[in-house]
Copies of this chain bind each other. A is one copy, B any other.
């Protein structure tokens, strides 16, 4: 098999962990597989480098920050190659320039355009374990870029796609993808399999196992992912197009309490009005999640939407600047909000899911503020204090837990 393995920064934080990961890679290699390894920077390296830069300049250029930060992964890959050599495993480390990981020019948030696989393939042909820097690329000026959050996962999936790997294993500090966060729902169960779409919904909803970008790319190029722990040999969770196990109605429950709700009251009900509002927000890089419009009365209607709470101050400024132009009579901001979402590819054809969610909320005495449904997801906005109770109630109602 041709296997891509990705290990995060905490998995290679010190010499002991590097050795531990090296043993795992060696085992995979000795079993007759060809192995490509993608690594993040060790432990807190990236944060320490950012700290060093800030000592010199409060607003360093992104181009130079990328030049600085990319050294972290280069150190990781060189150290891993050195550790593998000591186990008698032939290994070679490659940085983004050597792999020719071509990205857009956007420093700090670059997107991968193309990978020339020649070098990787020739090293695999020589029976080397190939160890590649995650999170980084080169743009067409030969300058180093970084991919932003979740970058190393994306690197791993992009390489797996480009080289047609049989599987892409994402190693992390949890055993896989769960039906809910086990810290909130103690009897949450690890899923054997999940579809890309379900994973995308869960990832965007606070189940921070895999970054959305990497799942989107895996879905686009049909790269089979496995999320598993670097600390044990448990099987992990497979993320793929169609799951083979009998389809469950609901695959997981996620909660997110870092959101805020904005309500624009009595906005004039003219065609294009909603477009005007959300276009202005989009131009200001505000990510709007759920949108609800009330039915118009007296030629006016209310528009509510949820946002990440970190954007709230920005949204307030935008609303203040546009409130007259939009013809809005008043604004309400609500911060004590949480979102609970139920995800499952099986719910598309089953109208009973929504009513079961309502029933669970009624039983648990949770007041639903806003509800939004898509083909594979139902999200509700509720009081923040109700979040954990709501998650447990839904988890129980759909019998997701361990028996």
Contacts and interface: CB of A to CB of B under 8 A. Distances in A.
Nearest to A77: B67
Contacts of A15: 52, 55-56
Nearest to A53: B82
Contacts of A18: 56
A49 B75 contact: yes
B75 A60 contact: no
B68 A82 contact: yes
Contacts of A49: 75
A179 interface: no
B52 A64 contact: no
A57 B86 contact: yes
A67 B81 contact: yes
Contacts of A56: 15, 18-19, 22, 79, 82-83, 86
A163 interface: no
A166 interface: no
A322 interface: no
Report how many copies the assembly holds: 2
A94 to B, nearest CB: 9
Contact of A68 (B79, B97, B143): B79
Nearest to A81: B64
A63 B77 CA distance: 12
Contacts of A52: 15, 75, 79
A302 interface: no
Contact of A93 (B64, B72, B81, B86): B64
A11 interface: no
B57 A85 contact: yes
Interface in A113-128: 119
Given A56-B19, A75-B68, A142-B119, A82 B61 contact: yes
A74 interface: yes
A83 B67 contact: no
A92 interface: yes
Given A67-B74, A142-B98, A61 B85 contact: yes
A99 to B, nearest CB: 10
A78 interface: yes
A104 interface: no
A71 interface: yes
Contacts of A97: 97, 142
B78 A64 contact: yes
Interface in A357-378: none
A123 to B, nearest CB: 10
Given A57-B82, A57-B86, 14 more contacts: A52-B79, A53-B78, A53-B79, A56-B79, A56-B82, A57-B85, A64-B81, A64-B92, A64-B93, A65-B78, A68-B82, A71-B78, A97-B97, A98-B142
27 contacts: A15-B56, A18-B56, A19-B56, A52-B75, A52-B79, A53-B79, A53-B82, A56-B79, A56-B83, A57-B86, A58-B86, A60-B82, A61-B85, A64-B81, A64-B93, A65-B82, A67-B74, A67-B78, A67-B93, A68-B74, A70-B74, A71-B71, A71-B72, A71-B78, A74-B74, A95-B144, A98-B143
Enumerate the 8 nearest inter-chain pairs by beta-carbon distance, A residue then B residue, closest first: A68-B78, A57-B86, A71-B71, A67-B78, A60-B82, A15-B55, A56-B83, A64-B81
